[in-house]
Structure 1
């Protein structure tokens, strides 16, 4: 594994569910869940390290009541058909707060070249086969078709969430069948909660790889792996194979706990990078979701002789890079 390039760890503090988009305009764009769960932020820089000190721009703030008024989670920025789309999950508030964890997935659109500028328009809820708890959407293109991957609770399947895949009509609409590609079945996916969520897509070696996260958001949180042949019918559940073990998990030795909810990007030199969050301590007071110290982190990874991604283990915290080396030019 080539790990010659190292990054400040954490890269950005108190930013969970991190997402970095490397665009062809020469910028890296970063978004993530903020501790207050009340807004969507974007920042950009010419380098990965530059994101650490880049100025965040608030592009959307939660509503005061009703839909999209609570627990704004897991934003992702995608460029589709010449426009920017922000996918995120949001809950709703009621007088009894019954909807605080009844999330749905929503979409914003921006036609500006620079997503930190222009107008973000609400495109509404991403409609799926069921009206149930849903979150953590991502999107990818393969052979002229665009796909949407997300986590949702099927009322007929015990557990909190499974992973689903569907083809997209456009940046805010699904079409055709919606198929389940993974459900929590192994012990490491079901500690605290029975969860498959936070999917991320990677293409390499003739395969489509999808990482995901399982279990509760404490030190048990970890990453699993699915894959399909690039020539397969991706909308066939039989095309997908899931490893029976986690591929990235807590490292007591390095003081890193609950790594997960990752995405992928490439470094300035083209090297593959894993972007994820993790805490630097194990014991949490109260609900882990309200502990703010899931920090955004970045590390290089490689591939095994068998063609599997080799993420290694979460790296120990480091001193931040000197400011002169950051280059946070907006």
Structure 2
């Protein structure tokens, strides 16, 4: 009996040590059992993005002057992997500065990274894309395909692409004109992964008070970071980040495409009246937003990845760190993201890891 009690005490002590060493408050260090991990995943990583293919996850985030990828088979151990630079911006020119929010997509047998860039003047931000025919996006060569723009060629950031009913679409955040007063969510059809083939349609503008935090005094109202999410029944949702990233109230909103709806018909998108994911001061998650989605490696669980600041007032800079957590679905088929999980809190690793 004494030996059994001694073993039990030792096991409890080992478990306690493992969890207390699971994080330094900024980096992810899974416990020795590999059963849990803690947020944040990296010290810094604004605008995180993840895609899964052929048994691997590929991760990227804003780096400012280049595109980098991390390949891993376990998202819970992202912080143990190295970021590989796959494309570096030229020294000068229209896409040489402020490389923001890259997204990696696999389309029509090739890899594409969409990113926003300018020449050092934010007014000139536009969307661009690079292509790689290699099976592994961290290998092979990346070719610059050019600017991706609709006929208006207005300011644009945060581009993403998705397929629906065998049609490819791009969604992004843009200006209606040439003055920085509002960032709106636009959608347009594509004829191939680098060509917009039709007129842009505005499907979301800041209308609720929670979407307008930080606006005024020359600062715009903001809808940005649009991302597509589909449920098991094929229903289409679009999350977006609302209010200024310079505020602690940056949050996620939700658009729902009506069943059988046309993505290019603004009336077919319904906006939720309240945000679906907001800050949690007690969790150390200020200004949570600019998210992505992925499934566990066994495809049984749904996960959201997003960035947030650990302290108030840290704005749009490098303090934004990537975090991830599982989410579920409500009875009506809409996603239920709940609230941000506390920094340093043990979270069960994605199913299958």
Partner of 1:116: 138
What is the aligned partner in structure 1 of residue 108 from structure 2? 81
Q: CA deviation at 1:264?
A: 0.6
The structure carrying a bigger helix percent of its residues is 2
Residue 42 of structure 1 aligns with which residue? 69
Q: Which has the larger radius of gyration?
A: 2
Q: Which residue of 1 aligns with 2:149?
A: 127
Q: Distance in 1 between matches of 2:312 and 2:132?
A: 39
Moved more, 122-131 or 309-318: 122-131
Please state how far the C-alpha of 1:56 moved relative to its aligned partner: 1.0
Tell me if structure 1 keeps the 8 A contact 2:36–2:346: no
Deviation above 6 Å: which 4+ runs of structure 1?
A: none
Deviation per residue, 1:8-64 (Å, 9 max, x gap):
2001221110000011x1000000012xx1111001011112322111110111221
Greater share of residues in strand: 1
2:60 to 31, 45, 48: 31
Q: Is residue 210 of structure 1 aligned with residue 232 of structure 2?
A: no
Per-residue CA deviations over 1:47-94 (Å, capped at 9, x if unaligned) read 11232211111011122122111111000000011000000001113x
| Corresponding position: 1:250 with 2:284 | no
Aligned with residue 343 of structure 2, among 308, 317, 320: 317
- The partner residue of 1:233 within 255, 259, 262 is 262
Does residue 260 of structure 1 match 2:289?
yes
* TM-score, structure 1 normalization: 0.88
Give distance in 1, aligned partners of 2:45 and 2:73.
19
Q: Could you tell me whether the CA contact under 8 Å between 1:206 and 1:229 is conserved in 2?
A: no
Query: Any stretches of 5+ residues in structure 2 without a counterpart?
Result: 1-34, 215-219
How far apart, in 1, do the equivalents of 2:78 and 2:132 lie? 21
Higher relative CO (Cα under 8 Å, sequence separation at least 6) belongs to 1
1:61 to 88, 91, 101: 88
Contact between 2:50 and 2:292, CA under 8 Å: does it hold in 1?
yes
Aligned residue pair count? 309
Give the structure-2-normalised TM-score: 0.83
- Which secondary structure does the structure 2 equivalent of 1:59 belong to? strand
* Separation of aligned partners in 2, 1:9 and 1:28: 18
2:253 equivalent in structure 1: 224
State the distance in 1 between where 2:186 and 2:237 align. 14
**Structure 1 counterpart of 2:224, from 169, 173, 197:** 197
CA shift in 2, pair 1:69/1:166, >3 Å: same
Instruction: Give the structure 2 partner of residue 96 of structure 1.
Output: none
Residue 310 (structure 2) aligned to one of 280, 297, 304: 280
Displacement of 1:158: 7.4
Q: What is the 5 A alignment of 1:143-162?
A: 143-155=165-177, 159-162=181-184
C-alpha deviations, 1:281-323, integer Å up to 9, x for none? Answer: 0033xxx23x3110011110011223221101111111689xx
Query: Structure 2 vs 1, CA of residues 6 and 200 (structure 1 numbering), >3 Å: closer, same or farther?
Result: farther
Match of 1:302 in 2: 328
Shift in CA distance, 157/246, structure 1 to aligned 2, threshold 3 Å: farther
2:15 is matched with which residue? none
Tell me how far 1:220 sits from its aligned partner: 1.6
Query: 2: CA distance between counterparts of 1:101 and 1:296?
Result: 27
Unaligned runs of 5+ in 1: 94-98
Distance in structure 1 (CA, Å) of the matches to 2:157 and 2:125: 6
